[in-house]
Structure 1
Amino acid sequence: MKIFPESSFFQEGRAPALPSLAEVRDLNLKTGNVAATNLNYPPSVIIPSLGVVIKYGLSVSIVEAQTQIMVREESQGRIPVPEIFGWIEDNGQTFIYMSLIEGDTLADRWGGLSDDEKQAICEELHHYVKLLRTLEQDPRDKYIGDNLGKNPLTDIYVIDRPELVGPFQGEDAVKQLQDACGIEIDDDLVSPIVFTHNDLISPNIMITPDPNPKVAALNDWAQSGWYPAYW
Structure 2
Amino acid sequence: MKSAVVTPADVSKAANFDVRTSSFFKHHDQLPSPEEVRSRARAQYLACTHWGWKTRDVSKVYNARPAPAVFEDMSLFVKWESSVKITEGQTLYVIRNSCGDSVPVPEMYGWRIDGDETFLYMEAISGKTMEDAWPEMKEDNRLRICSELRTILYNLRQLKQSPIDKFIALFLESQSETGPFTSVRDFHDWFVLQYKCRMPNSEIILEPYRKDFPDDSEIVFTHGDLHRSNIILSSSTPPRVAALIDWEQSGWLPAYWEDCKAHWTSTYLSKWPVKYLPLILDQHESTREAWNYYTDPVGC
TM-score by length of 2: 0.66
With 63-72 and 74-83 compared, the bigger mean Cα shift is at 74-83
2:24 alignment partner in structure 1: 9
1:73 corresponds in structure 2 to: 97
Q: Deviations over 1:118-156 (max 9, x none)?
A: 0000111111111111111111111110xxxxxxx2144
Q: Which residue of 1 aligns with 2:253?
A: 227
Question: Aligned to 2:222, which of 185, 190, 196?
Answer: 196
Which residue number in structure 1 is paired with residue 156 of structure 2?
A: 132
Conservation of the 8 A alpha-carbon contact between 1:86 and 1:97? yes
**How far does residue 200 in structure 1 lie from its aligned partner after superposition?**
1.2
Deviation per CA, 1:59-88, whole angstroms, max 9, x where unpaired? 111110010011111213311010111111
Q: Which residue of 1 aligns with 2:171?
A: 154
The corresponding residue for 1:184 is 211
Alpha-carbon distance in structure 1 between the residues aligned to 2:176 and 2:21: 40
- CA distance change for structure 1 residues 36 and 64 in 2, over 3 Å: closer, same or farther? farther
* More off after superposition, 69-78 vs 83-92: 69-78
Structure 1 residues 35 and 168, CA gap change in structure 2 (3 angstroms)? farther
Gaps of 5+ in 2: 1-15, 47-57, 193-206, 258-300
1:36–1:196 CA distance, 2 compared to 1 (3 A): farther
Tell me if 1:30 matches 2:54.
Answer: no
Greater gyration radius: 2
Report what 1:150 is aligned to. none
Answering whether residue 125 of structure 2 is matched by residue 101 of structure 1, we say: yes
CA distance in 1, matches of 2:226, 2:151: 13
Residue identity (%): 38
- Matched residue SS, 1:94: strand
Task: Give the drift of 1:38.
Answer: 4.2
Provide the aligned length of Structure 1 versus Structure 2: 213
Distance 1:208 1:184, change over 3 A: same
2:184 pairs with 164, 174, 199, which one? 174
Aligned to 2:86: 62
Question: What CA distance in whole angstroms lies between the structure 2 residues aligned with 1:71 and 1:20?
Answer: 25
CA distance in structure 2 between the partners assigned to 1:88 and 1:23 by the alignment = 13
Aligned residue for 2:179, secondary structure, equals coil
For the residues of structure 2 that align with 1:35 and 1:99, how far apart are their CA atoms?
A: 28
State the Cα deviation string for residues 146-167 of structure 1 (Å, max 9, x = none): xxxxxxx2144xx4599xx332
Deviations 1:11-49 (A, max 9, x none): 1x1x3321122221111111315598445x411111111
Q: CA RMSD in A?
A: 2.1
User: How many Å separate the matches in 1 of 2:61 and 2:243?
Assistant: 25
1:112 aligned residue: 136
1:21 corresponds in structure 2 to: 34
Runs of at least 5 residues in structure 1 that lack an aligned partner in the other structure = 146-152
Distance 1:35 1:217, change over 3 A: farther
Query: Structure 1 residues 94, 161: CA separation in 2 closer, same or farther (over 3 Å shift)?
Result: closer
Select between 200-209 and 29-38 the one with higher mean Cα deviation: 29-38
Residue type matched to 1:84 in 2?
A: M
* Distance in 1 between residues matched to 2:128 and 2:104, nearest whole Å: 14
* Equivalent position SS for 1:49: helix
